A and B are shown apart, each in its own frame.
Chain A
Amino acid sequence: MNNQSTRNKLLCVDFDKPLPFTFDGKLFTGYQGDSIASALYRGGVRIFSRSFKYHRPRGLMTLDGTTPNDLVTVDGISNLHASTIPLKANMQVRGQNAWPSVGFDLMGIFDSLSALLPVGFYYKTFIRPRALWPLYEKVLRNAAGLGSIDPDPDHFEESYFEKAYAHAEVTVVGGGPSGMSAALAAADLGAQVTLIEKEPSLGGHLRISEFETQIADWEIFPNIEFTNLNSSLELVEHLSNAVHAHLGIKLLTSATAFGWYEGNYIGVSQGNRLVKLRADQLIIATGQIEQPLVFQNNDLPGVFLGSGLQRLMNQYGIKPGQRAVVITTNDQGWYIARDLLKHDVEIVMLVDARLEIPENEITAQVRGAGVPVKAGMTIKKALGRKSVRGAMLAQTDGNAQPLELNCDLISVSGGFSANNALLYQSGCKIAYDPANDDFVPQNYPQKVVGAGHTVGTRGLEAILLEGCVAGVEAASRTGYHKAQETLPKLKEQLEALKSARRSNDHAHPLGQIPTDGDKTFVCFCEDVTTKDVHAAVAEGFDDIQTLKRYSTVSMGPTQGKICAKNTIKLFAQLTDRGIAEAGTTTSRPPFTPVKLGVLGGRLLDPIRLTPMHHIHAKLGATMMNAGQWKRPEHYGNPEAEVRAVRQRVGIIDVSTLGKIDVRGQDAIEFLERIYTGKFAGLKPGRLRYGLMCTDEGIILDDGVVGCLAENNFFLTTTTGGAGSVYEWLTWWATAWGLEVHITEQTASYAAVNLAGPQARDLLSKLTDIDLSNEAFSYMYMRLGQVAGIPARLLRIGFVGETGYEIHVPADYGAHLWETLMEAGTEFGNTPFGLEAQRVLRLEKGHIIIGQDTDALSDPYGARMGWAVNLDKPYFIGKPSLARRNQKTPGEQLVGFEMSDSTIVPGEGEQFVQAGQLVGRVTSARYSSTLGQSIGLGWVKSEFAAIGSKLNLRRNDHLEQATVVNLPFYDPEGKLVRS
């Protein structure tokens, strides 16, 4: 079917650029500039979807995304409005909520069973017999929902989502005439303006139909350069060009402001991008939404809102039907009739609900074209099964017999509702204005204002001027005061224009919603009829909020855009209240659906790499996460790595250890207060183990303190504790007011631990430092060169062998590693990872903070009382530790061996006695060095004595363990000190 009309100036379709696509597997052709909906309509499709509950056939109605009728699946992404998606070549579009197709849906039987599915039916049915609930649930879950997701990961195609932040002195939401006027006015004064428009082009309602501007005095607009723009098209082009050219206006098109958040924080979705915009001043100029009338079968394909027909005809060049009946309550319907005539649609009758139809240019034009007109009438029912084949009309006073007319198209213009969700969300007080038959702002919160149709203003001149005033005021509040003098006059002129238009020419004069008749829909998303609202009120839901929740009216994808106003009116009618008294429901963001991917954005998951990372990767290391760090877990054979360290020499990357510089004349005093041990008298070149506790005496972190020079120390911390310990130190330094500077330098230094019987031999090849035990003994430090690099060498022994921890500037890290590996070839130097390190340190009985300790572990329970010096005048945790020292800890950390060496307990497994919990495992491994399964764990003190037998609970049986002395390996520490 070829419905292409004569080319018109509003057309946005290029018929020279065809685009093939499919709908439910069938091939169609659209054109560049088409939406999916317009292309399908041009191709003859009239049923686009099936309704949520009753599976009634649904067709296009508004073409602006304000109904659920056009929700389709596009290229696997469900629940997209076909009317708002630009067509692209080879799109695969599928209908939703129907089987096998939207054209023929077996689930349409629900329409016939509607009597069994009244409002809130799920609270009343499917309750008994209870045993059948699993069946009910399965059926309901399959039947419910809208659209579907393909869970097969092989079918998943990643989409690119991202976020951006934006800031603007003045933000204008809505790119229609009022919004453009506001943006130009503010930007002309010097403000930085961001203008957000949901369509690809600016213009709003000026883009869907052409009319005469009829503006008497162009001089009143300081922000519109040209005068005598007689056509609305000329005006929109002028304004749009001015906005595009203005350097002070940043334009976001195809962007929807879906929510207002505290502090004028606006959520904007633009394709797959989320823009988080912070506005100093906010102007809402989001226009108005045409409203449907409520009558029987008002959801039948072929029933359009007038503005939807205008889009179809004027923007897409499609003749919508052959014979139309036009129903209106205001002048808008007459403009629709004019446009229908332009597109060669026969108007069978124009029906105006007003008893007295005004005589003006548009009514004269339509009458003059010979269109039959009836006043005081409206539509009672749309006739047809799957599409309109006629209309039943009735007098508004109900006195005459209904009149039936044959037609294939019904145009409905039921007035307008301000699109003011963002104003609601911002805290604006909004109330019903009978003069406008609309909900309009009563006041504005700070830094927010509305303009144009959004606030109930009518008339092109008035909405342009109101936008201008809003822009000038907003710019002035931001600090641009140049036009303040002209503001009073502009406001005066605006008030005059608004007063002149305070007539009810857009309102439904009757205010009565019919409540009789079947399938009279108020909410198209949720299939809520007038009968349902009536029933809900009768059941006691006599508050608009509870009515909404019980009936689900306005809770669907379009969030009440074309049903909220009719529902409030109906509710007022049924409860004998005024419309203002009936109240409104609460608007919450998002006002339009937003993809979860848009809210998610990019996966920004910071990862930290050591300077030797790529070397580990080349060596085939299996990496693991240690907080944000990537560290080698092993290089293929952890047991072999352990043996290498015990028998020859191994090297591990320990760059992730926290490193903190502390200097200043109060440095020693600071360390004395921070650590439990004594640091006064620590001389340059010496190292000391440091244990930190909280005020409660709980172990916080540990490490090594080295004296670099007088009043200059460096501290090491655990990898996981580096950040928190740095904060801990800086907080206390500030609190105590000590003259000390603390600088975090974890990543500044690459570090390796070279350990094993041959570590000294290897290292001596690369340094002139005297490494003999006499010259450089355990817990000492040296500064010098290793492999030509300035280095700090620390003789410490986490793994229980002769060992050197070598710290070099990070940019030399890779060089250090490669040189050590090359030099170590003759010794069989072997990289070892965290898994091997865990075994090695466990053999030495060294604890790992956070692994073998928790939020209740104090030094005495952990058998680290030796690290606590209660003689010091003060340190953090001293009072608590002094008290703890006076009694036996309730629990103690012990070493244990399993009787059966093949059993390696899991971390967290329990020790029990007579069915009672007496302890838990914190670390356990099989030690090939000892030929034994060993571990650390906390047990109640009465079970902590050496030789005590412990029962480890494993599944349904017990395994025996024995408490042994620590360390397991080299108990006298000879090797580490050699």
Chain B
Amino acid sequence: MQFDPKPKRVSPLHGQHQTLNVRFDLRGGWLTPEVYTTSAEETALLRKSVGLIDISAWGKLLLKGANSSEVIATCFGEAPTKTGEAREIKSNHILVAGLTPDEFLILTPSGAEKQWATSLEAEIAMQNTFASVIDLTSGLVGLSISGPKCTTVMSKLCAIPFNSKAFPNLCVVQSSFAKVRGTIIHHDRGSLPAFELFADCSYGEYLWEAILDAGREFGMQPVGWEAIGTINEENEP
């Protein structure tokens, strides 16, 4: 029987995107939502108010083990990441989030997680330490709430303080969010404030609707990868 030998990976929110007639693109084997309305409108929304982006296609690796911070430091050539801290490895477009002293969430570009899992496992073997690399790419939904109103939206669904003093940029917490356990990373894109939420993918649609509902007073809408790409380019040195 004929079937697509390289089937596409789809986000837990794929059904939602289809109902919104989004234009998809293929990135790292994933069908990613690129534009819902127009790129210009969505970029403007991000700058003026707040938008919701499905970033589920990002690679997500969980590294566990007592010496995980050393493994990461060696693998990425950076100083160890502390608990509650997120570190951008700009050269590889990677974000490392310290969840606990023994657990790190590593976010990679779409489709790059296997390569990085291999690198980490090689380093673990080299260091002869007990550590595990678990690929959670398929298991976590990723949502970015971006824009000047993002803090207010987040505050409707989560009890932790989101002000810049209590939760500065590149800070990470694990918390209940809309009654679902999630990992929240404060990850501004230059001057654009943003928070990234990662949670069990089976809650994806529920969280998508809860966040859009919380943002409705600000006209919050889904935003595609193209608009985020524009913002990222503006912020590149």
Q: Which residues of A contact B (CB under 8 A)?
A: 162-167, 192, 276, 278, 602, 604-611, 613-614, 629, 661, 663-665, 739, 741, 743, 745-749, 765-766, 787-789, 809-812, 814-815, 819, 822-823
Q: Taking the nearest CB of chain A, how far is it from the CB of B148, in angstroms?
A: 14
Decide yes or no whether B64 CB sits under 8 A from chain A. yes
Which 6 interchain pairs have the tightest Cβ spacing? A748-B139, A167-B161, A809-B138, A608-B202, A811-B9, A614-B15
Q: Is the interface of A mostly helix, strand, loop or mixed?
A: mixed
A809–B57 alpha-carbon span in the complex (Å): 13
Assess whether A167 is in contact with B134, with CB atoms less than 8 Å apart: no
Known: A166-B155, A629-B202. Is A815-B7 also a contact (CB below 8 A)? yes
Query: Contacting chain A: which of B35-43, B46-54, B189-197, B203-211?
Result: B203-211
For this complex, 25 residue pairs linking A to B, each with C-beta atoms less than 8 Å apart, are A163-B156, A165-B160, A602-B213, A605-B179, A606-B179, A607-B205, A608-B202, A611-B12, A614-B15, A663-B132, A664-B130, A739-B130, A741-B64, A743-B64, A743-B132, A746-B200, A748-B139, A787-B3, A788-B5, A809-B137, A811-B11, A811-B30, A812-B7, A812-B9, A819-B3
Decide yes or no whether B163 CB sits under 8 A from chain A. yes
Assess whether A604 is in contact with B210, with CB atoms less than 8 Å apart: yes
Nearest to A656 among chain B residues (CB) is: B202
Decide yes or no whether B159 CB sits under 8 A from chain A. yes
A823–B1 alpha-carbon span in the complex (Å): 7
Contact bitstring B154-175, A, C-beta under 8 A = 1, else 0? 0111111101011000000000
Q: Which residues from A are CB-within-8-Å of B12?
A: 609, 611, 810-811
Q: Which residues from B are CB-within-8-Å of A819?
A: 3
Assess whether B204 is in contact with A609, with CB atoms less than 8 Å apart: yes
8 more A-B residue pairs beyond the given contacts A162-B156, A162-B214, A809-B137, with a C-beta to C-beta distance below 8 A? A165-B158, A741-B134, A745-B134, A747-B202, A749-B138, A788-B5, A812-B138, A819-B3
- A-contacting residues, B1-57, CB 8 Å: 1, 3-12, 14-15, 30
Q: Which residues from B are CB-within-8-Å of A766?
A: 1, 3
Decide yes or no whether B136 CB sits under 8 A from chain A. yes
Decide yes or no whether B75 CB sits under 8 A from chain A. no
Decide yes or no whether B178 CB sits under 8 A from chain A. yes
A788–B8 alpha-carbon span in the complex (Å): 10
Q: Which one of A166, A749, A788, A811 has the highest number of Cβ atoms from chain B below 10 Å of its Cβ? A: A811
Known: A606-B203, A765-B1. Is A661-B134 also a contact (CB below 8 A)? yes
Known: A162-B214, A814-B10. Is A747-B200 also a contact (CB below 8 A)? yes
Pick the contact of B9: A164, A604, A609, A809 (CB < 8 A): A809
Pick the contact of B156: A164, A611, A665, A823 (CB < 8 A): A164
Assess whether B179 is in contact with A743, with CB atoms less than 8 Å apart: no
Q: Which residues from A are CB-within-8-Å of B136?
A: 745, 748
Known: A749-B138, A809-B138. Is A164-B10 also a contact (CB below 8 A)? no
A810–B157 alpha-carbon span in the complex (Å): 26
A162–B152 alpha-carbon span in the complex (Å): 13
Q: Taking the nearest CB of chain A, how far is it from the CB of B117, in angstroms?
A: 13
Known: A192-B163, A614-B15, A745-B134. Is A810-B139 also a contact (CB below 8 A)? yes
Nearest to A276 among chain B residues (CB) is: B159
Decide yes or no whether B94 CB sits under 8 A from chain A. no
Q: Which residues from A are CB-within-8-Å of B6?
A: 788
Q: Taking the nearest CB of chain A, how far is it from the CB of B26, in angstroms?
A: 13
A809–B155 alpha-carbon span in the complex (Å): 33
Decide yes or no whether B106 CB sits under 8 A from chain A. no
Q: Which residues from A are CB-within-8-Å of B139?
A: 745-749, 810
Decide yes or no whether B201 CB sits under 8 A from chain A. yes
Assess whether A814 is in contact with B204, with CB atoms less than 8 Å apart: no
Q: Which residues from B are CB-within-8-Å of A661?
A: 134
Q: Which residues from B are CB-within-8-Å of A814?
A: 10, 14
Q: Which residues from A are CB-within-8-Å of B205?
A: 607, 609
Assess whether A164 is in contact with B155, with CB atoms less than 8 Å apart: yes
Assess whether B202 is in contact with A610, with CB atoms less than 8 Å apart: yes
